[in-house]
Amino acid sequence: MEDKKVLEILSDYRNKSNKDLKEVLNFLNSDFEKTKDLIVKLTYHLDKTEESYNKVFIEFKKRINNE
């Protein structure tokens, strides 16, 4: 479904057919699930990046303090 069509239906959903509403519901549900999956994956990635950064930073601080 095209974005333009979705926006058109959403802007006047009270006057749209059940078929249109069903199509938009399917589109929105799919979009929601994809977005949720991406957020979860990005959260794991961010956590791993922070963990790696902290490990390297701690080692770096040790080296600087020993100079």
Q: Cα torsion at 43, 45, 51, 54 (round to 10°)?
A: -100
Three-state DSSP class for residue 12? coil
Q: Locate the domains of the chain by residue range.
A: 38-67
Spatial separation of the C-alpha atoms in residues 30 and 22, rounded to whole Å: 12
Tokens matching residue 28: 């929105």
Spatial separation of the C-alpha atoms in residues 45 and 39, rounded to whole Å: 10
Spatial separation of the C-alpha atoms in residues 13 and 19, rounded to whole Å: 11
pLDDT for 67 equals: 72
Task: Kindly tell me if the per-residue pLDDT of 7 is higher than 90.
Answer: yes
pLDDT in tens, 10-26: 999 999 999 999 999 99
